[in-house]
């Protein structure tokens, strides 16, 4: 089969498009004929300098396609079924062998390309908003990096849950595109006063929840945006702005008279 592989990590030009051996099916697994892939942040981080499980290494942990082979013991999947799948590596290829438990059926009529982008982004957003963030209808949530995969998913889920949704992005054009997904207020965090703008939207109260996938200095600002007993969920910081988090830094622009709480995922 054809696959996108590399023999060592580094810049994008380490990729090679080569013939490699077909993956071998296994008990409890399925072999998926790949029709679409989702390029996740972890894929680019691995290519840039992560661990290589195989040489050559086939990067990629999310894809969608049609099951070609079903392994022993698998009773809830069948050959010819369309699924979206996640795995530790191997999705950027014509075939991908994955545990059946890490596949989800794609509904009839659903676009296979769109389905390939669902599990990681929407699963992460759901965890941040509800499992750990305890978001409720009527609350206000700030979603950092709203134009990213997790951000777009979080905007839709939060709006559907009855929350007021504020999101940041690095340009006004990106923020404008988010309105169709349910964005109520957009803030360009390339400006120095983005924290003040978030607090102004809430009439100085602050937000009930922040979902922060950026980290670094943005995480410190996220905590400054919180209302009394607000929650801040930090997820997926990719080390683009590495610096330790110091709660004392939040005193540079504190909300009135009270402290904030932060929770970490």
**For 158-176, what is each residue's pLDDT tens digit?**
999 999 999 999 999 999 9
Number of C-alpha atoms within 13 angstroms, CB side, residue 160?
A: 11
Radius of gyration of the chain (CA): 21
Q: Given pLDDT bands bounded at 50, 70 and 90, which one contains residue 236? A: confident
C-alpha span between 106 and 157 (Å, rounded):
19
C-alpha span between 146 and 151 (Å, rounded):
4
**For 30-63, what is each residue's pLDDT tens digit?**
999 999 999 988 898 899 998 899 999 999 999 9
Domain boundary assignment for the chain: 2-116, 120-264
Indicate whether 264 pLDDT > 60: no
**For 142-161, what is each residue's pLDDT tens digit?**
999 999 999 999 999 999 99
Residue of higher predicted confidence among 27 and 247: 27
C-alpha span between 208 and 203 (Å, rounded):
13
The CATH number of 120-264, from 3.90.320.10, 3.30.360.10, 3.40.50.720, 3.90.1150.10, is 3.40.50.720
Mean pLDDT, residues 256-263:
43
Phi, psi of 148 (to 5 degrees): -80, 175
What pTM value is reported for the model?
Answer: 0.85
C-alpha span between 206 and 140 (Å, rounded):
8
C-alpha span between 77 and 101 (Å, rounded):
10
Per the CB < 8 A criterion, the answer to whether 13 and 86 are in contact is no
CATH 3.90.1640.30 applies to domain 2-116: no
* Same-fold call for 2-116 versus 120-264: no
Mean pLDDT, residues 217-239:
88
**For 170-206, what is each residue's pLDDT tens digit?**
999 999 999 999 999 999 988 999 999 999 999 999 9
Q: Given pLDDT bands bounded at 50, 70 and 90, which one contains residue 265? A: very low
Per the CB < 8 A criterion, the answer to whether 6 and 15 are in contact is yes
**For 78-130, what is each residue's pLDDT tens digit?**
999 999 999 999 999 999 999 999 999 999 999 999 999 999 999 999 999 99
Per the CB < 8 A criterion, the answer to whether 98 and 30 are in contact is yes
């Amino acid at each position: 089969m054809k696959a996108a592989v590399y023999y060592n990590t580094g810049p994008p030009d380490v990729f090679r498009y080569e013939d490699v051996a077909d993956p071998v099916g296994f008990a409890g697994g399925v072999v998926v004929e790949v029709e679409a892939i989702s390029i996740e942040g972890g894929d680019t981080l691995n290519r840039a300098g992560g661990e290589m499980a195989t040489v050559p290494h086939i990067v990629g942990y999310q894809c969608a396609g049609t099951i070609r082979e079903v392994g022993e013991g698998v009773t809830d999947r069948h050959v010819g079924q369309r699924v979206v799948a996640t795995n530790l590596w191997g999705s950027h290829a014509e075939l991908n062998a994955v545990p059946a438990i890490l596949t989800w059926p794609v509904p009839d009529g659903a676009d296979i390309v769109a389905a390939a982008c669902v599990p990681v982004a929407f699963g992460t957003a759901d965890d941040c908003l509800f499992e750990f963030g305890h978001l409720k209808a009527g609350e206000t949530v700030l979603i950092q990096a709203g134009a990213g995969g997790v951000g777009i998913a979080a905007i839709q889920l939060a709006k559907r849950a009855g929350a007021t949704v504020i999101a940041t992005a690095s340009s006004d054009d990106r923020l404008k595109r988010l309105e169709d997904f349910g964005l109520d207020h957009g803030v360009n965090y390339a400006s120095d006063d983005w924290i003040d703008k978030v607090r102004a939207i809430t009439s100085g109260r602050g937000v009930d929840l922040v979902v922060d996938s950026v980290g670094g200095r943005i995480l410190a600002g996220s905590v400054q945006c919180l209302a009394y007993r607000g929650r801040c969920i930090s997820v997926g910081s990719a080390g683009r702005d590495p610096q330790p988090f110091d709660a004392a830094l939040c005193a540079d622009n504190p909300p009135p008279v009270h402290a904030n709480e932060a929770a970490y995922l």
